[in-house]
Every structure is written in C-alpha cells, then in structure tokens.
Amino acid sequence: MIYERVTEELKERFREAWAVAVLTGAGVSAESGVPTFRGGGGAAVWRGMPVEKIATPEMWRADPVTFWQWYAYRREVIGRAEPNAAHRAIAAWERRFERLTVITQNVDGLHQRAGSRNVLELHGSLWRVRCPQCGVKMEDRRVPLPEIPPRCPSCGGILRPDVVLFGEAVPEAVFSQAVAATATCDLFLVVGTSAIVYPAAALPVLAKQNRAFVIEVNPETTPVTEIADVTILGRAGEVLPRLSPEGNGGG
Ligand code: BV8
Ligand code: ZN
C-alpha cells in the first residue's frame, strides 16, 4: 500500500515492534547534501561513465587516477556533510527497541556520526583504505588526498578504498549478520535505496518471507514497493522523525 504520510496505524506498528532492522541507501544521506547514485529517473553516471564501470577492480587497475578522482571527489563532498534528521532519528531508535540493527549500503559513515553504534556496513567505508600489495589496512580521513592515486606508506603500492566494488563479494561475516538481523526482526524498514544492487536488494524479500512488517520510505516507488506492506512516499529526514515523535528531530 502506498501512503503519502505517517498514519496512526504506522505509529502503532512502530510502538509495538521490539526487533527492528533498517536497511539504508544513498537516499538517507541525500538531505545531508550527498548526491545519490540513482533516482529522479537519472542513471548512475559520473563524467559520463556508469558508476558500475568506475567502482570496479578493473578500473582501479587500468586507470587508478580516474578511479581515485571519483573517490577523492566523494571524500570531499562527504567530508563536508553532516548527519541529518533521518540519521539522528535512527540513532535515537537504538535506545527505544530491544534490538535495532542498521544495515547500510552507504560508505559515508554518517550513521555512526549521528550516534548509531550497531551499524553493518555492507559496502565498507570510504574512510578506510587498504593495500592489495602488502595487505595493510588503515583508517584514512585525509581530505584532500596528498596524491592521486594515494600510495601505501609501507610498500609504496597503490592503495584502494576499503569498499566493496562491483563484482566483488560483500564480506561474508557482515552479510551473514545482516541476514540474521533481517530474518529475525519483526519490523524492517527500507530507507532511501533504489533496491537494485545485489545482494543488499535481497534483504527486504528475506524480511518479508520471515513475516516482518516491511515499511519503505522513499520519495519514489522501487522494486521493494511491490513486496512492502507500506511504502511511505516522502523524504527520509521528514518521515522518520514522524514515526517516533519522541525521538530526535521533532514531530
Ligand atoms: C556481487 C560501494 C558477486 C562502493 C557499491 C544483474 C542482476 C543482478 C545482479 C547483478 C547484475 N549485474 C551485476 C550484478 C551484481 C551487482 C549488482 O547488483 N548490480 C546491479 C547494478 C544490477 N552487484 C555486485 O557486483 C555486488 N557483488 O554481486 O558479488 C560475487 C559473489 C561471490 C564472489 C565474488 C563475487 C557488489 C555490489 C556493491 C557495489 N558497491 N558501492 C562505493 O560506494 O563507491 S554499490 C552503490 O550502490 C553504493 O554503495 C550504493 O549504496 C549502492 C546502492 O544504491 P542505493 O544506495 O540504493 O542508492 P541509489 O542512488 O541507487 O538510490 C537512491 C534512492 O534514494 C532512490 O530510490 C531515491 O528515490 C531515494 N531518495 C532520494 N532522496 C531521498 C531518497 N530517499 C529518502 N529520502 C530522500 N531525501
Ligand atoms: Zn602496501
């Protein structure tokens, strides 16, 4: 069912839930000024290249400069961004439910900055790098980067962001935790994702199969709309605080 606003019935569902999982995508950070990949009818492109071409291990190997220019650009945008009312509402829910798991496809770290502690980063983090040559992995918050591509301080190899690129597997440990949280929750929220990138896109279906009540929050319909119990058409920063008026962000 498609709703234009948060109803009393939805607030009641929310009050009664005890184990909640929230799957988020780029749309949850849109109101922080972080551009989404897709949505608004647009394809995911940067400088005319599809994101599915840039964010690949093949691109990192063949053209590390272009590859890193895209990541340097995103580090600049995200480095300036602040968590918004949606991130804050989700962080406040951790105190409210027996169990709350944030499963995010985002690599921006904004959920954690808003105070969420139980966050599964399915696609890794923009703020970690690793060196495929010597295996070193480290936090790296430098903006701007001193050189493009950035090099490993230990061996001089070309670094890569510690994110899951297209064609790479989501780390088994993280994904199995996401599957467990999804299969055992009674309320599953899908917020700000076009729900087309796998394996994340399989989680709402799994939640439904395990009888969770599935609520989608997105200004547009997506493939999840077909299986969701309710889709609330709206922006995350406006809708999420209304589900729990006593949480941060007001009613
Ligand atoms: C794998 C990290 C196998 C790096 C990312 C054909 C069919 C099925 C699958 C495939 C296929 N062809 C290829 C595949 C596989 C591929 C895939 O799913 N492709 C899709 C495009 C079809 N998947 C993979 O490659 C995955 N790996 O399959 O491995 C394997 C197995 C074993 C061993 C080896 C290999 C890996 C996928 C991970 C890719 N990495 N990023 C980085 O970010 O730099 S994905 C990238 O897309 C981002 O991380 C992003 O989070 C993710 C998903 O996008 P969304 O978050 O949903 O964002 P999007 O822009 O699309 O949508 C925004 C939404 O927000 C819109 O709906 C919009 O309406 C809404 N919105 C806007 N404003 C608001 C809002 N909502 C609320 N409030 C607002 N204000
Ligand atoms: Zn190295």
CATH topology of domain 35-80+128-163: SIR2/SIRT2 'Small Domain' (3.30.1600)
Give the integer Cα–Cα distance in Å for 94 and 117: 8
Give me the chain's average pLDDT, please. 94
Q: To 10 degrees, the CA torsion angle through 122, 106, 148, 57?
A: 40
Annotated active-site residue 111? The verdict is no
Specify the pLDDT at position 249. Answer: 41
Distance 203 CA to ligand 1 centre (A): 13
Among protein residues, the one with the nearest Cα to ligand 1's atom 75 is 27
Tens digits of residue pLDDT in 103-112:
999 999 999 9
* Active-site choice (38, 123, 235, 242): 123
- Of ligand 1's atoms, which has the minimum distance to the CA of residue 74? 44
- Same CATH fold, 35-80+128-163 and 1-33+83-123+169-251? no
- Of ligand 1's atoms, which has the minimum distance to the CA of residue 122? 38
Q: How confident is the model at residue 38 (pLDDT cuts 50, 70, 90)?
A: confident
Distance 157 CA to ligand 2 centre (A): 5
Predicted structure pTM score: 0.96
Specify the pLDDT at position 248. Answer: 41
Residue 182 φ then ψ, to 5°:
-70, -45
Strands 160-163 and 124-130, bridge-based pairing: antiparallel
Q: Which ligand is nearest to the CA of 137?
A: 2
Q: How confident is the model at residue 165 (pLDDT cuts 50, 70, 90)?
A: very high
Distance 161 CA to ligand 2 centre (A): 13
Specify the pLDDT at position 45. Answer: 81
Q: How confident is the model at residue 43 (pLDDT cuts 50, 70, 90)?
A: low
Q: To 10 degrees, the CA torsion angle through 3, 7, 10, 12?
A: -170
Burial class from Cβ neighbours inside 10 Å (0-12, 13-18, 19+) for residue 118 reads middle
Q: Which residues line ligand 1 (CB under 6 A)?
A: 25-27, 30-31, 36-39, 52, 55, 105-107, 123, 163-169, 192-194, 196-198, 217-220, 222, 235-236
Specify the pLDDT at position 80. Answer: 96
- Of ligand 1's atoms, which has the minimum distance to the CA of residue 167? 25
Give the integer Cα–Cα distance in Å for 155 and 12: 57
Provide, rounded to the nearest whole percent, the portion of the chain with pLDDT above 70: 95
| Tokens read off for 191 | 């917020």
CATH topology of domain 1-33+83-123+169-251: Rossmann fold (3.40.50)
Distance 179 CA to ligand 1 centre (A): 17
Q: How confident is the model at residue 37 (pLDDT cuts 50, 70, 90)?
A: confident
Q: How confident is the model at residue 144 (pLDDT cuts 50, 70, 90)?
A: very high
Ranges of each domain in the chain: 1-33+83-123+169-251, 35-80+128-163
Q: Which ligand is nearest to the CA of 239?
A: 1
Specify the pLDDT at position 251. Answer: 38
